[in-house]
Amino acid sequence: MSEFENLDGLGMAELVKTGQVTPAALLEDAIERITKANPAVNAVITTLYDEARAEVAGPIADGPFQGVPFLLKDGGAVGVAGTRLTSGSRYLMDNISKEDGELYLRYKAAGLVACGKTNMPEFGLQPTTEPEAFGPTRNPWNLDLTAGGSSGGAAAAVATRMVPIAHASDSGGSIRIPASCCGVFGMKPTRLRITSSRRHLGVSARMSFLSENAISLTVRDSAALLDASAGPGFADPFQAPRPERPYLSEVGADPGRLRIVVSNESPTGVPLDGHAVAAVEDAARLCESLGHHVEYGVPKLDLGGIAGPFGVVTAHGLAWDIARLEQLTGKVALEEHFEPATWDLIMRGRTSTATVAEYADGLAALQALSEDVQRFQQPYDIWLTPTAGSAPPALGSFSATAEDPTRGMRAAASYLPFTTLINVTGQPAMSVPLYWTADDIPVGAHFVAPYGDEGMLFRLAAQLEAARPWAGRKPLTAA
């Protein structure tokens, strides 16, 4: 057993800051753990060992995570100059980042040492991580099940103790779903709490659903990393409201007596499986035992209409992104470069007869839905729901074919009755690992706070973590 595997990121950094261990020693230990655990779960698809070794040979920024090994999701705002960035797609298999991304620079300033990149579904479009380009990431608790997506590689890596914290992003549940599947902590911050700007891609309409952050073993690591990485970019169209104090100071602070509304039914009308219901009701009982006011309620929302507007925005945004990539790479996008579901979305975006007015109507419908959600939650501090509609399903549950390219999207809509909705509203939300099935499979509980109030979530999360610690639970695949 590694002498560091039971430490979180801040714990490792404390050893570095007090001279008890060197960043080089932490890095070599992480490389050993990745080498041991990765063959089973396929979480890391690009190694940056040489780059990381060169980095720890010099001075490391004296940030909160000084010298801590870290993994980057293989897409988005975390390009590393001179290294491959594929977004899980064969189309970008030979794509090399020309410069360091803004978020990666913030991570370096926090003292983190990136030693690899994690697996993700093609362009982050699925709630499972099974890209044709790299093969599936497997659930560390049962290798036949999904690790979730799109940040499945990050969640599997943290669950198996390759690293204590890993970059993740979320545009429909992509932090919270894999955190739930893998039994770790995942927080989606308020919209644009962390810049999502891609200098060379701009911000398409679908990017308004996206939040960057991380998956972590402990609550305090997530809080400290959000402190270190939050803030707007130069091109961001707006900013999230500034917090009253550092998020790390919220960890351990008294959350007070919160008013919590619990939904143990889906507002879509699609039945939740027994494990999802058991997980949320277990979390509700725990909250009540901690002194919070708990009552049950399900919002009356026209969620049957979310798929249409969300699909229009996603398809047009993806088509726009691919057109920009064609310009930047000089590589024509052909059907053979993409998975069937991705190509179907691209073509829908390229060939749709939707007028500008219809497209704007879709955005307006999503905005109206966002207002309905926040009106439902307004009397309460927290909305508690299942993270997903079921326990982690089997690998292949979201697969699509050329004959039926939308199969996976239809299955995903049933699996995600709550998380995508919160990407539309822009509220902060977290999946907390409080429940395991009789077969030892984790099922997360999903907590949603008012817009801009991650502090409330961190206070509650730390209280839940103290009441029912999860960091000591390890899958057999752990390094």
Provide DSSP, 257-312: S-EEEE--S-TTSPPPPHHHHHHHHHHHHHHHHTT-EEEE------GGGTHHHHHH
Q: CB-based contacts of 17: which residues, under 8 Å, 6+ apart?
A: 62, 66
Q: Which of 87, 151, 169, 174 is catalytic?
A: 174
Q: Can you state the angle between helices 307-329 and 340-351, rounded to 10 degrees?
A: 90
Provide DSSP, 224-253: HHHHHH-B--TT-S--PPPPSS-GGGGTTS
Distance CA 95, CA 200 (A): 13
Q: Which of 73, 108, 117, 188 is catalytic?
A: 73
Q: 300 catalytic, yes or no?
A: no
The two three-digit tokens of residue 478, written as one number? 């752990």
Distance set, CA 268 to CA 119, 370, 380 (Å): 30, 15, 21
Phi and psi at 148, nearest 5°, equal 85, 175
The two three-digit tokens of residue 48, written as one number? 């940056």
Distance CA 112, CA 100 (A): 14
Q: Which of 87, 89, 150, 216 is catalytic?
A: 150
Q: 150 catalytic, yes or no?
A: yes
Distance CA 67, CA 229 (A): 16
Distance CA 118, CA 91 (A): 17
The answer to whether the peptide bond before residue 171 is cis (omega within 30 degrees of 0) is no
Residue type at position 387: T
Q: 174 catalytic, yes or no?
A: yes
Using an 8 Å Cβ cutoff, are 185 and 168 in contact?
A: no
The two three-digit tokens of residue 153, written as one number? 């590689």
Q: Which residues are catalytic?
A: 73, 150, 174
